[in-house]
Amino acid sequence: MKTAPRDLASSASATATRTPAIQKNPLDIKVLAAIARSTSSVSPMSLLLPMLDWVGHLAVSPGKRIELASLAYEQWLQLMRYLASSARQESDAEPPPAQDRRFAEPVWQTWPFNLMHQSFLLADAWWQAATIGVPGVSRHHEHVVSFFARQLLDVLSPGNYPLGNPLVLRKTIESGGMNLYRGLMNALDDFQRLAANQPPAGAEAFVVGGNVAVTPGQVVLRNPLIELIQYSPTTAEVHPEPVLIVPAWIMKYYILDLSPGNSLIRYLVERGHTVFCISWKNPGVEEHCLGMDEYLELGFEAALAAVNAIVPERKVHAAGYCLGGTLLAIATAAMARDGDQRLASMTLFTAQTDFTEPGELALFIDESEVSMLEAQMRETGYLSAGQMAGAFQMLRSSDLLWSRMVQEYLMGERSPMNDLMAWNADTTRMPARMHAQYLRRLFLNDDLSEGRYPVRGKPVVLTDIDTPIFAVATLTDHVAPWRSVYKIHYLTPTEVTFVLTNGGHNAGIVNEPGRPRRHYRIRERPADANYLPPDDWLEKAQRHEGSWWPAWSEWLQARSGKPAAPPQLGAADYPPLGDAPGTYVHEK
């Protein structure tokens, strides 16, 4: 099992403390900030260096070039056989050389659209082969070149253009071109909303405190960084150990309290849990100096102190989502180091504690990119929501960008808005200091899993954690890949119950009972048991149909005391300050 020896961790921390931080020249900062404004915060060097690495090594790899030439010839032969059999309309026609769900409709198999889409898919496959496996290219550079080659090719997909998309052509003929007119109106409306910093069409139907984030409760703590909401009980008796939820500050907390039918918070309350949830302030210029230490002290630690005062002499079930889960893991390790036994358990939703394989987000994070972001944030005081949204869209450009544009601008059909989409448009910012520390300490340096992350001047190590862990990962997560989340198994020896559910980073968590086509796998690793690799876990973990929410509720109940009368809302030092959802959630 992977460990972080205390003496090495302490030595590393001491060395880092003695080493002075490099002060960047103010002129360099201004130049980098100016470049960032002109490149949408993308470092040109972060693209140029991988390209030079790839081109240079490909030039001295004749074997790889021969392989690519052979692949191109084989693809051409496959394409010719497919086109010939399609033209003859044989019953046992040659199957398409490449398949993609974007071209699943039968009309794509007719001339000339079969030639268009197969040529595109084969070119995409060729470029993926060309950018992977070139001897000498660093792994990071290889991934960057491959990723951006895919982005550029996606632009050329025939489905993105009216004359190349048979579905659009058919719609245009049937509607007399009205689909293109409606699409133009949709595009103009979106442009006006973007220019006016307004939410997308349909989002206005979801009002925070009106029909989303409506679980009754009271704000019982407000400080410069958080509001803490205590939710009103709905059962005569509750489990004595309260639940404290730490959402990510990159998002509004109410993803866990959307509509009444898919609110995880309401679900817990209705099953006899006393629930508290942090609502983070949407930072602006005034909060630029807030760092990770403040998010720990004014966030989790302040909230935990309030929960302890309102529900005294009871341990707390703490749950963290995404960045909130990473922060919770840091806090739990610090508490274990200091002998603080106030937690009954720790739950992590799509939260990474090891950042050596953080998925495609790592493509945007290297020294050059972080330096540019730091320079830009030095001027603005924060990272804007638009900058983050652009990066997430690029991760799934085919689904989040091009397919939506085809649907709304070419087909002329607005995608129906739902509560999760409206929440996703209710964006937040990231304070400059915190975001720079987060990127450097965790993504670049991986300080947490290596035992170098400092809390109050001393490093924390995850191997100190001895509270039971319930960890949830999602199968198609592009932000926190499930195998990365799974690494908690070898970072701590404590009991770990791991759940892998279908869905993505958000839809896999907003996974209420009764939703169709949902399933999950679950398996418990006892404390101090041997490590099971993720692929072996996937084979051995039992599959269940439906939502994982009941499994988590039962897991919490099994680690809670006998139900008793619910606590009052607030306490002497934490009087109710107003109804949920509070005021911070409304800040734009």
Q: What b-and-e string marks burial along 573-582, b requiring 16 or more CB atoms within 10 Å of the CB?
A: ebeeeeebbb
Q: What letter represents residue 584's amino acid? A: Y
Q: Which of 1, 5, 17 is nearest to 454 (CA)?
A: 17
List Cβ<8 Å contacts ≥24 apart for 26-35: 28/375, 29/374, 29/375, 29/378, 30/375, 30/379, 31/375, 32/371, 32/372, 32/375, 32/376, 33/372, 33/375, 33/376, 33/378, 33/379, 35/372
Per residue, what are the HEC states of 267-322?
A: HHHHCCCCEEEEEECCCCHHHCCCCHHHHHHHHHHHHHHHHHHHCCCCCEEEEEEC
Q: In whole angstroms, what is the distance from residue 347 CA to residue 396 CA?
A: 28
Report the largest interatomic distance among the alpha carbons of the chain, rounded to a whole angstrom: 83
Q: What is the DSSP letter of 494?
A: S
Provide the 3-class DSSP secondary structure of residue 465. Answer: coil
**Strand ranges of the sheet holding 243-246, from the earlier edge strand across to the other edge:** 542-545, 519-525, 496-501, 469-474, 343-349, 316-321, 243-246, 275-280, 226-231, 217-222, 578-579
Q: In whole angstroms, what is the distance from residue 353 CA to residue 173 CA?
A: 54
Q: Locate 175 and state its tokens.
A: 């509607």
Q: Which of 395, 549, 396 is nearest to 472 (CA)?
A: 549
Q: What letter represents residue 275's amino acid? A: V
Reported in sequence order, the residue ranges of 88-216 that DSSP labels E, i.e. its strands, are none
Please provide residue 100's backbone torsions phi and psi, each rounded to the nearest 5 degrees. Answer: -155, 140
Q: Please, are residues 320 and 351 in contact by the beta-carbon 8 Å criterion?
A: yes
Q: Please, are residues 253 and 280 in contact by the beta-carbon 8 Å criterion?
A: yes
Please provide residue 328's backbone torsions phi and psi, each rounded to the nearest 5 degrees. Answer: -65, -40
Can 289 be counted among the known catalytic residues?
A: no
Q: In whole angstroms, what is the distance from residue 486 CA to residue 38 CA?
A: 39
Q: Please, are residues 279 and 227 in contact by the beta-carbon 8 Å criterion?
A: yes
Choice among 144, 290, 292, 322 that is catalytic: 322
Q: In whole angstroms, what is the distance from residue 530 CA to residue 536 CA?
A: 12
Q: Which of 296, 308, 300 is nearest to 242 (CA)?
A: 308
Q: What letter represents residue 417's amino acid? A: M
Provide the 3-class DSSP secondary structure of residue 521. Answer: strand
Q: In whole angstroms, what is the distance from residue 581 CA to residue 585 CA?
A: 7
Sequence-distant (6+) residues with CB within 8 A of 530 are none
Question: Which residues, in sequence order, are bridge partners of residue 228?
Answer: 221, 278
Active site residues: 322
